[in-house]
């Protein structure tokens, strides 16, 4: 095992971009890739690519590029790609139920194992192998120690309560679709997907363009 | 009209956060807010808040905070909140059809006006007032000059082609759900929502925690 420096979170978020492009190049029969090429594919500068990849030790030779297979295996290892990750989803509304039906997660080793809702009309609904349960049973997830990731797709007023509850039951990663800043304990990572915010960014651009 | 400095894109993406919290405070009967309070609500530092808001001119008084109503109106103006924005959606699969059913957009002045898919099983399906059309008719959007925003929810292999096509027909803002870096002309803004990337970030964290 080669020596590794501690990888900062900012680099971590780019690892899956690298892995995706590297895998594509491998599928196309490639065996080496330069930092310039990888930069173009990921939209990053080649300097950024070299800096990021330097965290995994020296396996690129100046001028000849990185070995695709070696780089792929390192990235897969770091990203835990050979593991299966279990997820709990809270809020089986429009967005939540779409995620329950979304095949993309499973293909990548992410399995939504439990789903909860407060609405009697949604409780009992089946999505593949997952049946939506009553949110009052959410402490069930504490018994299943394999679930460390929660997807929160509840209305904005409930999101903070749900976040506090799931972290009490062992969740340390939250993907939050509710447009609210969640306050969580240290050691819990929250990533936000805020559709309204993205669209408002566009309306700002369009408004500026008009004016 | 007070003098305004040109607002950088990085600030723009925080405007809707400010507006959201300001509106909430107003609903609760507040009339002034300090940069410290606004910082806590948005997860930003108070220095960042003060710096951002300084772009709209001087309307906060040191020590007494910002006037909520005045700030709200400025933010609403900048974000074009009194406008209606039309959207075209391409790819009516799991994620796409969920967005078509999502009431949150309309509430905020964003209306998905057209939807396209390549799949005969999806073409003709109705979501509220939108019927999914054959993607071969996508040049229809060129006639409707009100559509400037596209949401792309197609498989990864088609995303670049779709992006090129819609920008030819007048789209200048793209919300991209496909896990690929889109190459677009200058003047076109792309925002990416990459679910797999977010989840892989978690698997990295969980893998590191294990090791």
Q: How far apart are CA B79 and CA B66, in angstroms?
A: 19
Verify whether the Cβ–Cβ distance A41 to B179 is below 8 Å: no
Distance from CA of B13 to the nearest CA of A (A): 6
Q: How far apart are CA B125 and CA B136, in angstroms?
A: 16
For chain B, percent of residues with pLDDT exceeding 90: 54
Q: Would you say residue B189 has pLDDT above 90? A: yes
A202: chain B residues, CB-CB within 8 Å: 85, 148-149, 173, 175, 189, 191
Distance from CA of B137 to the nearest CA of A (A): 25
Domain ranges within chain A, ordered by starting residue: 9-78, 85-198
Q: How far apart are CA A53 and CA A69, in angstroms?
A: 14
**pLDDT per position as a tens digit, A6-49:** 778 778 878 888 998 999 899 999 899 999 999 988 888 999 99
Q: How far apart are CA A91 and CA A133, in angstroms?
A: 10
pLDDT averaged over chain A?
88
A41: chain B residues, CB-CB within 8 Å: 181
A172: chain B residues, CB-CB within 8 Å: 205-206, 209
Q: Would you say residue B64 has pLDDT above 80? A: no
**pLDDT per position as a tens digit, A74-89:** 999 888 888 999 999 9
Contacts of B186-193 with CB under 8 Å at 24 or more apart are B189/A201, B189/A202, B189/A205, B190/B163, B191/A198, B191/A201, B191/A202, B193/A193, B193/A195, B193/A198
Distance from CA of A206 to the nearest CA of B (A): 8
Q: How far apart are CA A181 and CA A89, in angstroms?
A: 18
Verify whether the Cβ–Cβ distance B195 to A83 is below 8 Å: no
ipTM of the complex: 0.82
pLDDT of residue B1: 42
Residues near A119 by beta carbon (within 8 Å), at least 6 away in sequence: A92
Q: How many residues appear in chain A?
A: 211
Architecture of domain B85-198: 3-Layer(aba) Sandwich (3.40)
Enter the tokens of residue B116: 């396209």
pLDDT of residue B26: 93
Verify whether the Cβ–Cβ distance A173 to B20 is below 8 Å: no
Verify whether the Cβ–Cβ distance B80 to A207 is below 8 Å: yes
Enter the tokens of residue A75: 């990235």
CA dihedral A163, A169, A173, A179 (to 10 degrees): -10
Verify whether the Cβ–Cβ distance A78 to B16 is below 8 Å: no
Distance from CA of B183 to the nearest CA of A (A): 9
Counting beta carbons within 10 angstroms of the beta carbon of residue A23, is it exposed (0 to 12), middle (13 to 18) or buried (19 or more)? middle
pLDDT of residue A105: 84
pLDDT of residue A137: 95
A&B contacts, CB < 8 Å: 171
DSSP secondary structure letters along A51-93? HHHGGG-S-EETTTEEEHHHHHHHHHHHTTTTS-EEEEEE--S
pLDDT averaged over chain B?
88
pTM: 0.81
Residues near A202 by beta carbon (within 8 Å), at least 6 away in sequence: B85, B148, B149, B173, B175, B189, B191
**pLDDT per position as a tens digit, B158-182:** 999 999 999 999 999 999 999 888 9
B12: chain A residues, CB-CB within 8 Å: 201, 204-205
Verify whether the Cβ–Cβ distance B191 to A201 is below 8 Å: yes
CB-CB: which of A110, A191, A198 is closest to B175?
Answer: A198
The alpha carbons of chain B give a radius of gyration, in whole angstroms, of: 20
Looking up tokens 């971009």 gives A17
Integer angstrom CA distances of residue B22 from A179, B27, B28, B34, B110: 14, 9, 10, 11, 21
**What's the rounded mean pLDDT across residues A64-77?**
90
Enter the tokens of residue A165: 């509850």
Verify whether the Cβ–Cβ distance B207 to A95 is below 8 Å: no
CATH number of A9-78: 1.10.10.10
Verify whether the Cβ–Cβ distance B196 to A81 is below 8 Å: no
Q: Which residue has the higher pLDDT, B208 or B1?
A: B208
**pLDDT per position as a tens digit, A107-166:** 788 999 999 999 999 999 999 889 999 999 999 998 888 999 999 999 989 999 999 999
Distance from CA of A167 to the nearest CA of B (A): 15
B17: chain A residues, CB-CB within 8 Å: 181, 197
Integer distance in angstroms from the first to the last C-alpha of chain A? 58
Q: Out of A25-34, A60-69, B194-203, which region has the weakest mean confidence (pLDDT)?
A: A60-69
């Amino acid at each position: 095992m080669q020596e590794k420096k501690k990888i900062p979170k900012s680099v971590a978020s780019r690892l899956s971009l690298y892995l995706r492009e590297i895998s594509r190049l491998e599928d196309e029969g490639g065996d080496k890739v330069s930092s310039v090429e990888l930069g173009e594919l990921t939209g990053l500068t080649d300097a950024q690519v070299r800096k990021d990849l330097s965290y995994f030790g020296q396996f690129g030779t100046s001028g000849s590029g990185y070995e695709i297979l070696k780089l792929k295996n390192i990235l897969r290892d770091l990203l835990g790609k050979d593991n299966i990750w279990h997820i709990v989803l809270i809020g089986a509304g429009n967005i939540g139920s779409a995620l329950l039906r979304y095949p993309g997660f499973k293909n990548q080793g992410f399995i939504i194992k439990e789903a909860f809702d407060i609405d009697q009309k949604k409780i009992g609904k089946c999505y593949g192998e997952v049946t939506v349960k009553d949110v009052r049973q959410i402490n069930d997830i504490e018994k299943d120690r394999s679930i460390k990731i929660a997807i929160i797709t509840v209305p904005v007023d409930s999101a903070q309560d749900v976040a506090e509850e799931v972290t009490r039951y062992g969740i340390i990663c939250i993907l939050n679709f509710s447009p609210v800043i969640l306050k969580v304990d240290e050691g819990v990572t929250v990533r936000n997907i805020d559709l309204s915010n993205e669209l408002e960014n566009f309306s700002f651009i369009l408004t500026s363009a008009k004016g």
